[in-house]
Each structure stands twice: as C-alpha cells, then as structure tokens.
Amino acid sequence: MFDGLLMLGQGIGFFLNPESLFNVVWATLLGLAIGLLPGLTATMGVALMVTVTYKMAPEQAILTLVCVYLGAIYGGSRTAILLNIPGTPAAAATTLDGYPLARQGKAGLAMGLSTTSSTLGTLVGIFFLAVIAPVLAEAAMRFGSYEFFWLALFGVIISGQMTGSDTPIKGYIAGILGLLAAMVGMESLHAYQRFTFGIPQLGAGIDLIPAMVGAFGLAEILSTMKRRNDARIVSVNDRVIPRLKEIFQHWRTIIRSGLIGTFVGIIPGVGEDVGSWTSYAAAKRFSKNPEAFGHGSQEGLIAAETGDNAVVSAAMIPTLTLALPGSAAAAVLIAAMYLHGIRPGPMLMIENPAFLYKVIAMLLLATFANLIFGLSLTKLFIKILSVPRERLMAVIAVLCVVGSFAVTQRMFDVYVMLGFGIVGFLLREMKYPMAPLVLGIVLGDLLDINLRRGLSLSNGDVMPFLTRPISAVLCMIVVITILMSIPAIGNRVTAAFRKLTGFTRSVVKP
C-alpha cells in the first residue's frame, strides 16, 4: 500500500513539468473538439493521434493519447445536449435528458452537470484502477505460453461484443480479418515469409499505424461524406457551473453509476456506451421520480455521464494487466503502447511497475483538465459546431496520408492506409465494427507465437492447453463467451439480466 502511494506520488511528480502540462492542455482541448463534432469518435481521434506521437517519448505519447481519449468521451456530451446528436456513441444516453434540459433553457446547467458528474465518474474508476490492477497483475504472473494463447484468443473472441448490434458474428469476422492481416510477413520462429504473394514490401508485415489510420480515419471520412446533419444549435445563455447542492443531492446515483461503470470497464470489450445505458437504467429504476426520466431529469443526465466516464479509467485495468481492451479506444491504446516499446500485460509489473501509476497520474491530469476546460470554455466550444464538415474532413484526409507516410517514410504504407480505408468503409456499410479488426492485428502475433511455442514445448501435445489450471479456466471463458453469442442462449441470459436490473428496451432506446 505504502509503495503504491509512493509510486503514485512519483508518477504525478514525473508529469509536473512544462512539457507534460503543455501536452495535457492541447491534447485535452483536441479531444474535446473531436468529441464535440458528430461523426468523429474517440477511437478515431486516438488512432489519428498515434501518428503524431510516434516521435515522442513513450510516457509523453501515452499521456497525449489518454488526454485525447478522455477528452473525446467527455466532449461527446456537448452535441448530445445541444443538438440531440451524440458526438460519440458513449453519449447516446445523455441525449435522453440532456437535450430536453437544453430545450427548457437550461443548456448551460446541463453541460455543467455533465462536466462535474463526468469528473466524479472518472475518479471512481481511477480509484479502482489503483486498487485492483496491482492485484490482478500479480495473479497474471503465472501465465505461460499456454495461458497467453488463450488470452490472445479471448481478446479476439470478445470482439464480437464490440459490434454495438445484435450480430456478434460480424465482430468475429472483423477480428479474424485482423488475425489474417497479422499473419502476413516473416514469422518469428523460423523466419519464413507467409502470404506475401511475391511482394517484397509485405515481407516485414503490415504496419499497424497505416492499417489503423485507414480503418478508422479514411473509412470515417468516406462514411461521413454520405451523411448530412442540419440540426439546429441550441444557444447557451444560462449559468454553466452547477451548485454543490445540485450535484450532491444525487450522491447515491453518482456512487451507483460509478460502480456500474467500473464493473463494465473491467469486462474486456464492452465499452463506454454500455456503461452509460446500464447506469441510466439503474438510476431510473431506483429513482423517486422515474417519470421525469426522458423529460429533462438531472438525475438521469448525471447517471449517464458518470457511468460512461467511469468506464474509461476502469477499462485501463484489463488493458494494462492483461493486454485486453476494455473498450474500442483502449484497443488502439494497446497498439500505441506496443509501438512505443511498452508491453501491457502480466509482465508489466515486472518490467515497468511504475508505468501503472504513471497511467493513473495521466488520468488524473486529463480529468482535471476536462473539468477546467469544460466549465470555463463551454460557450467557446459551441462555435466549433459551425465548422463545415467538408472542410474538416479534408484536413483529416491530409493527416491520414501524412501520418501513414511519416512513420517509415514509405509510399507503400500510404497504399496500405488506402486499402484498409476502402475495406473499412465497405465493412462499415455492412455494419461491421472496426475495433476488432485492429485488435486482431495487435493480438495476432501474440496468439501465433504462443500457440507454436506451446506446441514446441509439449512436442505437439495439445493437452497442456486444456489441463493446466489457468489455461482450463481461460478455455472455459472462451467457450462460454462463444455460447453467449448464440442468439438462442444469449437472448435468454440477456432477458434475465434485464429483468433483474430493469435494463429494458423501453429504457435504452431514445
């Protein structure tokens, strides 16, 4: 306990310098702008920023990405309140009560409540990150090649839960496509080139950054070009900073939503939108005034914003200790960590134990930056909504090309970005998610190496994959996850869960 507090203090002190604070300021502001603009997601923002941070020191790069991530999730509530359009999927539940409050002339108060409740929700998740992550990392120290194989396979399997639709098979297909892309190039054990089709540039494999930029950036540009948005902006003329009474009269809702968001964040692959909806449903069930929900309830707004932001920091628990993403944006963060020489997973607490507490310090700095900017610059941020989307997408297109080329200065990487962008656009049109595709590329090498290494250690015997205690547990989890994705089984379990928690379809659909 004392060692943890000492390392946390050292982590905070590590970032109390002009360079770090400057990165916190501009990255948080950029994240807020990304979240504010409908069509730009937190995952896309983090993916594009990976190219900008490539030459930074590892800690500064991850600090920048964390600030963009947290800022974008928070910023999505601005358009949800003002336009009834969630800037990010995580802010969808915020529209139910945020927009009615804005229509009642309380847009400033609604954004102030969302800002403070977002801060409190993130702090709850940070607390559990500091408490649970070291314990989980210590337990994960017993992992070997057999266990790492199942862990990587589980990471691909949970991609079915990242779809946001009722067809997990699409998530599995996208994850498998990512695995296939990861198999391209020279394999590590015997230096044999696979699936290069005589193209010399593919001998080194598919670089993660152009693939990620194409799948999230260019594909989003092509998708956005098909959409139009003529919603009217609601003006903000009332007070923005809420009174303490308006916050703490809902302290039970804040604690409940923070705990729900934390639990959702710990489960790999679920995401902020689930935390937001579940917290909203629980708040409505236990509220003394459930009839006010959907008509401008401050309690409903606070529950939704507390829940989704608690997921962000709690998602770092599986991300750092097991290298399994707690959300789609966390999958991109894992890729960024690998690019900067940081290996998330069970070995993190041995190779770089201080990094966990540096991440906690990053989250704290990003949280307080969101609080300050959210309360002081609300009316200024509203002007960003007037930027024509055509001009914005043109700038992002340039960033996609420059970012892909700048990493290795190969024109081939630009072609990779274009290819993944076109494939990503076609998959989006068919309602396939992009996060599993990137996750499959990230985890493909881990799965491949540990499968073949485990078979080499056991002389081709597959039984150690099934009989070792931790491997057996992970195997059961994988099987259960697959069974849960089968409609006949998953629907029954989901219906029982909704009946128990009050999370009904009449609640979750705006």
What one-letter code names the amino acid at 21?
A: L
Contacts of 180 (CB under 8 A, 6+ apart): 195, 440, 444
CA quadruple 474, 479, 482, 484: dihedral, nearest 10: -100
Q: What is the pLDDT of residue 25?
A: 93
Tally: H helices and E strands in the chain: 26, 2
Range of the domain at 373: 2-508
Would you give the distance in Å from CA 96 to the centre of its chain? Answer: 22
Q: Which tokens go with 431?
A: 């309602």
Q: Which tokens go with 439?
A: 């996750």
Strands 193-194 and 185-186: antiparallel
Q: Which residue has the tokens 């948080």?
A: 28
Three-state secondary structure call for residue 186: strand
Contacts of 116 (CB under 8 A, 6+ apart): 242, 247, 371, 375
Could you tell me where the DSSP H helices lie in 160-250?
168-182, 208-213, 219-224, 244-248
Q: Which tokens go with 6?
A: 């000492």
Task: Say how far apart CA 129 and CA 247 lie, in whole Å.
Answer: 24
C-beta separation of 80 from 385 below 8 A: no
Task: Say how far apart CA 358 and CA 372 lie, in whole Å.
Answer: 21
pLDDT tens series, the chain, 510 aa: 566 677 778 888 888 899 999 999 999 999 888 887 766 678 778 888 887 888 888 899 999 999 999 888 888 888 778 777 666 767 778 888 888 888 787 878 888 888 888 899 889 888 888 888 877 766 666 777 888 788 778 777 766 555 444 567 787 888 888 888 888 888 777 778 888 888 888 887 887 778 877 887 788 788 777 765 545 555 566 667 777 887 888 888 889 888 988 887 887 666 677 778 778 888 888 888 888 888 888 888 898 889 888 888 888 888 888 787 777 788 888 888 888 888 887 777 777 878 888 899 999 999 999 889 888 887 776 666 666 766 777 877 887 787 778 667 788 888 988 999 899 899 888 888 776 787 788 778 778 888 888 888 888 888 988 888 888 988 898 888 778 777 667 667 666 655 665 544 444 333
CA distances from 45 to 73, 74, 204, 412, 493 (A): 10, 13, 27, 23, 35
Which of 441, 432, 442, 425 is closest to 217 using CA atoms? 425
Q: What is the pLDDT of residue 366?
A: 92
Task: Say how far apart CA 477 and CA 158 lie, in whole Å.
Answer: 10
C-beta separation of 321 from 345 below 8 A: yes
Which of 102, 38, 31, 24 is closest to 73 using CA atoms? 31
Instruction: Give how many domains the chain has, as a whole number.
Output: 1
C-beta separation of 248 from 113 below 8 A: no
C-beta separation of 154 from 268 below 8 A: yes
Q: Which tokens go with 159?
A: 């991609």
For 471, list phi and psi in degrees, rounded to 5.
-60, -40
For 195, list phi and psi in degrees, rounded to 5.
55, 35
Q: Which residue has the tokens 């004392």?
A: 2
Q: Which residue has the tokens 């449903």?
A: 281
Task: Say how far apart CA 298 and CA 281 lie, in whole Å.
Answer: 14
C-beta separation of 266 from 320 below 8 A: no
Three-state secondary structure call for residue 55: coil
Task: Say how far apart CA 472 and CA 298 lie, in whole Å.
Answer: 47
Provide the 10 A C-beta neighbour count for residue 497. 11
Which of 9, 305, 261 is closest to 128 using CA atoms? 261
Query: In degrees, to the nearest 5, what angle opens at C-alpha 311 toward C-alphas 284 and 321?
Result: 145
| CA R_g for the chain | 22
Q: What is the pLDDT of residue 228?
A: 58
Task: Say how far apart CA 490 and CA 470 lie, in whole Å.
Answer: 25
Q: Which residue has the tokens 């697959």?
A: 482
Q: Which residue has the tokens 């090498």?
A: 445
Query: In degrees, to the nearest 5, what angle opens at C-alpha 298 toward C-alphas 293 and 303?
Result: 80
